[in-house]
Structure 1
Amino acid sequence: MAVRIIRMSELSQKTGCARSTIYAFISRGEFPRSIPLGSRAVGWKESDIDEWIEKRQSLRDSR
């Protein structure tokens, strides 16, 4: 299976979170780590983001 890397614009759309919210999660260590793609570009593995979303849903459902 091929690894798919997504950038911030798609990441915001997929999670429903604003860029600032995503960076707040990152600073608190609550979000998957980014992958450096170049000197000023990063991306995230889509599978890591899917897992993160599933964990958030599990937390919601366990309440």
Structure 2
Amino acid sequence: MAAQIQRLLRLRAVCDATALCRSSIYQLERDGLFPKRVAIGPRSVAWREDEIAEWVAARQRKVAA
């Protein structure tokens, strides 16, 4: 079974996908309410696309309830 490649999103793409600003993303992450970023280099981070998509879907379910 081949491993599925996970797409990584940089901060701008995460902001676009969530409609949140940088400071809100980092605050939610600190509070444990947002997916954790992963280091992709010495000074680069990204977020897993599937985790961001699930976070958005969970927020939409919460609002709809």
Same-fold call, TM cutoff 0.5? yes
Determine whether 1:3 maps to 2:11: no
Q: Quick one: which of 43, 47, 51 aligns to 1:40? A: 43
Determine whether 1:22 maps to 2:19: no
Name the one with the larger strand percent: 2
Structure 2: tracts of 5 or more residues without a match: none
Q: Secondary structure at the match of 2:46?
A: strand
Choose 1 or 2 for highest CA Rg: 2
Structure 1: tracts of 5 or more residues without a match: none
Q: TM-score of the superposition, structure 2-length normalised?
A: 0.90
Amino acid at match of 1:27: R
**Large movers: runs of 4+ above 3 Å:** none
Provide the identity percentage. 32
**CA root-mean-square deviation:** 0.8
Count how many residue pairs are aligned between Structure 1 and Structure 2.
Answer: 62
